[in-house]
């Protein structure tokens, strides 16, 4: 699994084995907050199994989901490198398993394996690109446009059909900054038009989603 992770791309099996010696494996139940916004950054997490959401919330509990991530994703690297408090919270969406490197172990890995630093630069550049797109979407797209973009961007092809990860209507609403009722109405209309169907909590895109609602 680690050999396939973007962070460790290009490392030998021997290098990976050395990194494992500095890491611990942790298991968390569904809906467990593993990183709290504002906390000190003391570890890097890599998802071995499961799904998480990165989010920010106000004092009333209203959330804005920044991203949803799965196997191979790295969490918490920005705060570690910048030596700043955590900028977002992270919660498991299902039972999950993580490889965890303490701050000191992570810094040692960077020193011992410069390839990791180059991989990390690429990952951070991708994050900046994604953040720029998200800000642009909020500024230029309406709620319908943001819902469609999330569905299209997250869908992957399986057995000849395009299907999204598991989303609840509330999760989609939190991602686009809208009410669950508004998102529910949009999805209902898309299903009624034959554009979407549902398998569990995953959305199957049957044909090109309309540009306008």
Say if residue 133 is in the same domain as residue 170: no
Q: Number of folded domains in the chain? A: 2
- 19 belongs to a structural domain: yes
pTM for the full predicted model: 0.70
**Domain range for residue 9?**
2-139
Say if residue 121 is in the same domain as residue 180: no
Say if residue 21 is in the same domain as residue 123: yes
> From first to last of its 213 residues, what are the pLDDT tens digits of the chain?
666 677 777 878 888 888 888 899 999 999 999 999 999 999 999 999 999 999 998 887 788 888 888 988 889 888 888 889 999 999 999 999 999 999 999 888 888 888 888 888 888 888 788 778 877 877 778 999 999 999 999 999 998 889 999 888 998 998 888 899 999 999 999 999 999 999 888 999 999 999 888
- 210 belongs to a structural domain: no
Strands (E), the chain: 24-28, 33-35, 43-49, 52-57, 63-69, 74-75, 89-92, 96-102, 156-158, 161-166, 196-199, 202-205
- 213 belongs to a structural domain: no
Domain end position, chosen among 110, 139, 168 = 139
Say if residue 71 is in the same domain as residue 135: yes
């Amino acid at each position: 699994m680690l050999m396939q992770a973007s962070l460790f791309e290009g490392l030998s099996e021997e290098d990976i084995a050395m990194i494992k010696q500095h890491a611990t494996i942790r298991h968390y139940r569904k809906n467990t907050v593993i990183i709290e916004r504002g906390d000190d950054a003391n570890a890097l997490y890599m998802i071995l199994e499961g799904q998480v959401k990165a989010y920010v919330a106000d004092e009333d509990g209203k959330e804005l989901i920044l991203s949803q991530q799965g196997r191979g994703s790295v969490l918490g690297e920005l705060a570690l490198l910048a030596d700043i408090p955590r900028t977002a919270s992270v919660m498991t969406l299902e039972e999950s398993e993580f490889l965890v490197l303490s701050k000191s172990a992570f810094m040692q890995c960077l020193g011992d394996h410069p390839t990791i630093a180059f991989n990390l630069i690429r990952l951070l550049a991708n994050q900046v690109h994604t953040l720029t797109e998200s800000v642009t979407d909020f500024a230029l797209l309406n709620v319908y446009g943001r819902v469609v973009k999330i569905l299209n961007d997250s869908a992957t092809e399986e057995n000849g059909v395009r299907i999204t990860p598991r989303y609840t209507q509330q999760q989609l609403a939190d991602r686009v900054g809208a009410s669950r009722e508004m998102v529910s109405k949009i999805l209902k209309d898309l299903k009624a038009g034959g554009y979407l169907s549902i398998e569990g909590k995953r959305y199957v895109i049957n044909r090109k989603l309309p540009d306008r609602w």
